[in-house]
Amino acid sequence: MKLHTKIVLGLVLGAAAGIAANTLAAGALWVAWIGDNVAGPVGQIFLRMLLMTVIPLVFASITLGVAQLGDIRRVGRVGARTVVYFLLSTALSAIVGLTLVNLVRPGEGLAPDVREQLMATYRSQAEGMQAAGSTTFGIDLFVNIVPRNPVAAAAGLDMLGVIFFALVFGAALTMIPEEKARPMIRVLEALGEAIVKVIEIAMKLAPYGVFGLIFVVTSRFGWDLLRQLLAYVLVVLIGLFLYASVGLSALVRIFGGLNPLTFWKKAWTSVITGFSTSSSNATLPTNIAVAEKELKIPPKIAGFVLPLGATMNMNGTSLYEGVTVLFLAQVFGVDLSLGSQIIVVLLSVITAVGAAGVPGGSLPLIMVVLATVGVPPEAIAIILGVDRILDMCRTTLNVAGDLTAAAYVARTETDWDPRTVNRES
Ligand code: ASP
């Protein structure tokens, strides 16, 4: 059986087992025990195996990407193309989300007693998040991208800091004499290859890991909550589905030259990994492998665009942010004018760029957006209970969006030919 069939099987069986345990043996101690001692740890080991590759992978691939692109002007051009694509596709997805939420207005139907009950249940969690994420919009956001100490940035999983250091380091390698740069480049190539092997080993665990991760979420999930917030959840899911099937498919067709069906088929392993880990960072290793092996994108482009995309490009997240902010505004009766909604789009884009690629990474930033448009930030408590499921779904679009960006940049900056990939399938 092929690995990705096994992973899908793990996902389906894990979800079925979790939902069965949740409905048939709700609250039973043995279900919790299995979650804590078997399924949870297996899932965590898989997640950690992937995460432990992220820092060396990002460092090696970005440095090599920059060094191999050769001259610094070319790096600038590729970088600018990449970032412009990120920003435009992220804005497009936020607009899709806002349009839907304006049409359906799910916030107006939420009963006040449900609202109070949810606020009461999740308030302390929301307040904890607000205290931890003291993010405000300001010049610091940019200053903080430059790390004081690259080792500390790596140790703290500060991806933007590591990326910044790698970009400068890679650029510097192109500026010193070639015979001096060569040994460093060879070391990084070896590092990159070894890490790819580690990822292959980790992916062997994927079917079990995915089973465990999904089992834990579904066996503990409050499905009743989903019913209470059904309109909101549906707007998010329909928005994500529309954006994937129409928006991203059109983008990958127009800008990447790929047949959308071929694209989704080839991107499948990334989609499943994103779904089960809820983390763009944890999916990055798989995403690079998929780009290089399945889509045949040149490593220097995949290694440059995808690590940037894992932190900066979050299409699913920005759609979700737009829907959530407006939904909560509706719940609290705050009427947002067209002008405020445009601000929501802009802030959704900025915060999607700033959010960390970890489960729930965007939540603290959504609180900042809420506060900016005059909705109490603690309102986020209302949706915390259903967030994990929505996080799984939005992360799949975040990682698929990165692949579309890599296809676009490869097509415009190298001799990569999407037709050979189209023909193959
Ligand atoms: N979990 C998302 C990701 O890693 C971030 C978020 O929307 O919370 O891409």
Chain segment 85-126, per-residue pLDDT in tens: 999 999 999 999 999 999 999 888 888 888 888 888 888 777
**Neighbour tally for 316: CB within 10 Å:** 32
Q: Which of 90, 280, 308, 399 to mutate to test the pocket of ligand 1 (most atoms within 8 A of CB)?
A: 280
Q: Which of 358, 384, 389, 402 to mutate to test the pocket of ligand 1 (most atoms within 8 A of CB)?
A: 358
Q: Is the CB of residue 341 below 6 angstroms from any atom belonging to ligand 1?
A: no
Distance CA 220, CA 22 (A): 7
Buried residues in 211-246 as b, exposed as e (16+ CB within 10 A): bbbbbbbbbbbeeebbebbebbbebbeebbebbbee
Distance CA 282, CA 46 (A): 10
* Centre of ligand 1 from the C-alpha of residue 74, in Å: 30
Residues 133-172: tens digit of each pLDDT = 545 566 777 788 899 999 999 998 888 899 999 999 999 9
* pLDDT of res. 26: 73
Q: Is the CB of residue 277 below 6 angstroms from any atom belonging to ligand 1?
A: no
270 near 287, Cβ under 8 Å? yes
Distance CA 10, CA 96 (A): 32
Average pLDDT over residues 34-58: 92
* Centre of ligand 1 from the C-alpha of residue 28, in Å: 31
pLDDT band, very low/low/confident/very high, at 188 (cuts 50, 70, 90):
very high
Distance CA 199, CA 205 (A): 10
Copy the structure tokens of residue 139. 């010049």
* Centre of ligand 1 from the C-alpha of residue 279, in Å: 6
* pLDDT of res. 133: 53
* Centre of ligand 1 from the C-alpha of residue 395, in Å: 5
Residue 359 alpha carbon, nearest atom of ligand 1: 1
Task: Tell whether the model's pLDDT for residue 132 goes beyond 80.
Answer: no
* Centre of ligand 1 from the C-alpha of residue 240, in Å: 14
* pLDDT of res. 330: 92
User: 220, 199, 357, 223: which is closest to 289 by C-alpha?
Assistant: 199
Q: Is the CB of residue 314 below 6 angstroms from any atom belonging to ligand 1?
A: yes
The separation between CA 418 and the C-alpha centre of its own chain, rounded to angstroms, equals 24
Distance CA 244, CA 236 (A): 12
Average pLDDT over residues 307-333: 94
DSSP letter at 25 equals: S
Q: Is the CB of residue 133 below 6 angstroms from any atom belonging to ligand 1?
A: no
Q: Note the maximum CA span of the chain.
A: 71
Q: Which of 159, 278, 312 to mutate to test the pocket of ligand 1 (most atoms within 8 A of CB)?
A: 278
Q: Is the CB of residue 321 below 6 angstroms from any atom belonging to ligand 1?
A: no
Q: Is the CB of residue 398 below 6 angstroms from any atom belonging to ligand 1?
A: yes
Task: Tell whether the model's pLDDT for residue 198 goes beyond 80.
Answer: yes
Question: In a 10 Å sphere around its CB, with 0-12 CB exposed, 13-18 middle and 19+ buried, how is residue 43 labelled?
Answer: buried
Residue 361 alpha carbon, nearest atom of ligand 1: 8
Q: Which domains does the chain have, with CATH numbers?
A: 3-424 (1.10.3860)
* pLDDT of res. 157: 83
Copy the structure tokens of residue 266. 């080839």
Ligand 1, atom 1, residue with closest C-alpha: 359
Question: In a 10 Å sphere around its CB, with 0-12 CB exposed, 13-18 middle and 19+ buried, how is residue 5 labelled?
Answer: exposed
Average pLDDT over residues 230-244: 95
Please name the residues in contact with 312: beta carbons below 8 A apart, sequence gap of 6 or more.
83, 86, 353
Residues 348-386: tens digit of each pLDDT = 998 888 888 999 999 988 998 998 888 888 889 999 888
The dihedral built from the CA positions of residue 251, 252, 258 and 259, taken in this order, carries a sign that is negative
Please name the residues in contact with 101: beta carbons below 8 A apart, sequence gap of 6 or more.
107, 235, 239, 322, 323, 326, 327, 330
Residue 317 alpha carbon, nearest atom of ligand 1: 7
Q: Which of 157, 312, 317 to mutate to test the pocket of ligand 1 (most atoms within 8 A of CB)?
A: 317
Q: Which of 52-56, 169-173, 336-340, 398-402 has the lowest mean pLDDT?
A: 336-340
